[in-house]
Amino acid sequence: MADPNRNYVDGEWITASTGETVAVRNPAEPDEVVAKYQQSGAADAVEAVEAAAAARSEWADTPAPERGRILRETAMTLERREESLTDRLIAEEGKARPEAAGEVRRAIDVFHYFGSKAADLGGTRKASSGRDVNLYTRVDPVGVATLITPWNYPIAIPAWKLAPALATGNAVVLKPASLAPGVALAVTEALDEAGLPDGVLNVVTGPGSVLGDELVEHDAVDAVSFTGSGRVGEAVYRQATAAGKRVQTELGGKNPTVVTASADPAEAAEIVAAGGFGTTGQSCTACSRAIVHEDVADAFVDELVKRAESIDVGPGDDHEMGPQVSAEELESTLEYVDVAVDEGATLVAGGGTPDGDAVGTGHFVEPTVFADVSSDMRIAQEEVFGPVIAVIEVGDFDEAIAVANDVEYGLSASVVTDDHGEANRFVDEIEAGVVKINEKTTGVELHVPFGGVKRSSSETWREQGDEGLEFYTIERTVYDNY
């Protein structure tokens, strides 16, 4: 019988070899234990990788349309459980209900999409220089893929890694983040019910510091896909490449929205607020810098402050902005507030924890706005991962572009303008993997490439869309002279 609070290895729900579990708590009510999950050890990681290695050949030989059918059946199962998955996501990660529901819907759509794409897999036929040679390519799975996913999108990111990996015929080991693994295990349960063969997917929960070496370096692992913090991701990249693995990482961001002199301040403030305060600022694509032309800066700040102060903060089930995921994340955000004040930025909204019965002892923080920020301040350079927006005033469009690019990251960037020439220049000159015009920095489509540049990504393979399939495949060329 399925027990999705256990590990899932070789088609069985099993307890970890350590005999230990870890409690996941509701970030809105930290005294509430939502569930207990396995605290796995290195031996569990080895068992999962070996199960994947044993299953890889049979799955690779399964016709792609049949693999796609299983993914589509998984999508339909998730759809039937959409409400309960949303409830679990809110309880473990803390998102506001519309955000949590949207994320669950994205996971469903991802499985539908890649389930359909599986039927298109194959290769291409090319003209040969020889009359008797049939020249063509074929696409084969990489083999065994390790997927390491973060807590901030605990069902969407596992889905957009799992679905293309499985569609292309790979066996998989998934390690979801320890803070919110429940919805990833629910996806696993749906795949099992859809008929995924034993061993094709294996899931272990527990700390990356314990499991990481085996998941990344084991001889049977062929590819590693990681999404998470820059510090950990860069270490994973070095470790995986040193071990000869194919590797893909998507890391942090310090995402700007440039507000030009032609922009409407109220419209721009709404766009920036949606990008910076949505998901409690806990998105790698969240807007954390508003780079604003001096002609509209005062009006923009006034509008942004109004929006920040209007946001209803409380438990995600019935409030506009939920908590941060943990006490550690809340403490980190509040430390950045202190740093910004110490460096001379002007706190114009928020900056603390809200009062009231609704927030109780939860990990809540006020939507925060700083003005008078310069580009060399830490608040303008380092990823905060909370609902904190730094407003940087500039004199012209050239300065705005220079400031926007004056960071180590390059994930998402947007511009708010009524000048089409400025929009075109922004697309040409901004250093970011995702570029938006008159839109918030957050939110991406599932059928187009996603990824960053500079320290936001390994800049190897992109995720999602057709490019999301390429990471998990190897193309071979056949010269058929039979």
The amino acid present at 155, given as its one-letter code, is: I
Closest by Cα among 470, 450, 460 to 253: 450
Question: Which SS3 state, helix, strand or coil, does residue 454 take?
Answer: strand
Instruction: Decide if pLDDT at 29 tops 90.
Output: yes
What are the two backbone dihedrals, phi and then psi, of residue 308, each rounded to the nearest 5 degrees?
-60, -45
Instruction: Decide if pLDDT at 91 tops 90.
Output: yes
Closest by Cα among 197, 186, 212 to 80: 186
Q: The tokens of 228 are what?
A: 């998470």
> Tens digit of pLDDT for each residue in 359-368?
889 999 999 9
Q: Is 293 exposed, middle or buried (0-12, 13-18, 19+ CB in 10 A)?
A: buried
- Strand 388-394, strand 368-371: pairing: parallel
Percent of the chain whose predicted confidence (pLDDT) is above 70: 99
Contacts of 417 (CB under 8 A, 6+ apart): 258, 260, 262, 263, 423, 426, 437, 438
H or E element that contains 414: strand 412-416
Give the other-Cβ count within 10 Å of 50's Cβ. 19
Q: Residue 457 has what DSSP assignment? A: B
Angle made by CA atoms 198, 199, 204, in degrees to the nearest 5:
120
Q: What is the mean pLDDT of the chain?
A: 96
Q: Identify whether the C-beta of residue 201 lies closer than 8 Å to the C-beta of residue 191.
A: yes
Question: Which SS3 state, helix, strand or coil, does residue 72 take?
Answer: helix
Instruction: Decide if pLDDT at 324 tops 70.
Output: yes
Mean pLDDT of 390-405: 98
How far apart, in whole angstroms, are the C-alpha atoms of residue 84 and residue 118? Answer: 28
Q: Identify whether the C-beta of residue 431 lies closer than 8 Å to the C-beta of residue 454.
A: yes
Q: Residue 330 has what DSSP assignment? A: H
What are the two backbone dihedrals, phi and then psi, of residue 172, each rounded to the nearest 5 degrees?
-135, 145
Q: Would you give the distance in Å from CA 10 to the centre of its chain? A: 27
Q: Identify whether the C-beta of residue 163 lies closer than 8 Å to the C-beta of residue 115.
A: yes
The pLDDT value recorded for residue 356 is: 81
The pLDDT value recorded for residue 2 is: 63
Active site residue 287: no
Instruction: Decide if pLDDT at 403 tops 90.
Output: yes
**E strands, 187-305, where?**
201-203, 223-227, 246-250, 255-259, 287-293
**E strands, 251-330, where?**
255-259, 287-293
H or E element that contains 439: none
Question: Which SS3 state, helix, strand or coil, does residue 116 take?
Answer: helix
How far apart, in whole angstroms, are the C-alpha atoms of residue 426 and residue 436? Answer: 9
pTM over cut 0.85: yes
Q: The tokens of 461 are what?
A: 């393979």
Quickly tell me which residue has 């389930």 as its tokens. Answer: 115
> Tens digit of pLDDT for each residue in 252-306?
999 999 999 999 999 999 999 999 999 999 999 999 999 999 999 999 999 999 9
What is the per-residue DSSP string for 25-36? EETTEEEEEEEE
Question: Which SS3 state, helix, strand or coil, does residue 459 take?
Answer: coil
Closest by Cα among 389, 416, 414, 419 to 404: 414
Instruction: Decide if pLDDT at 376 tops 90.
Output: yes
Q: Where are the alpha helices (DSSP H) in 4-133?
A: 42-61, 64-80, 82-93, 97-117
Q: Is 203 exposed, middle or buried (0-12, 13-18, 19+ CB in 10 A)?
A: buried
* Largest CA-CA distance found in the chain, in angstroms, rounded: 80
Judged by average pLDDT, the poorest of 107-111, 127-131, 147-151 is 127-131
Strand partners, 126: 135
From 101, 284, 291, 390, the catalytic residue: 284
Q: Identify whether the C-beta of residue 345 lies closer than 8 Å to the C-beta of residue 379.
A: yes
> Tens digit of pLDDT for each residue in 223-255?
999 999 999 999 999 999 999 999 999 999 999
> Tens digit of pLDDT for each residue in 418-463?
999 999 999 999 999 999 999 999 999 999 999 999 999 999 999 9
How far apart, in whole angstroms, are the C-alpha atoms of residue 285 and residue 254? Answer: 8
Instruction: Decide if pLDDT at 1 tops 80.
Output: no
pLDDT band for position 130 (cuts 50, 70, 90): confident
Q: Identify whether the C-beta of residue 151 lies closer than 8 Å to the C-beta of residue 182.
A: no
The radius of gyration of the chain from alpha carbons, rounded to an integer in Å, stands at 23
Instruction: Decide if pLDDT at 41 tops 60.
Output: yes
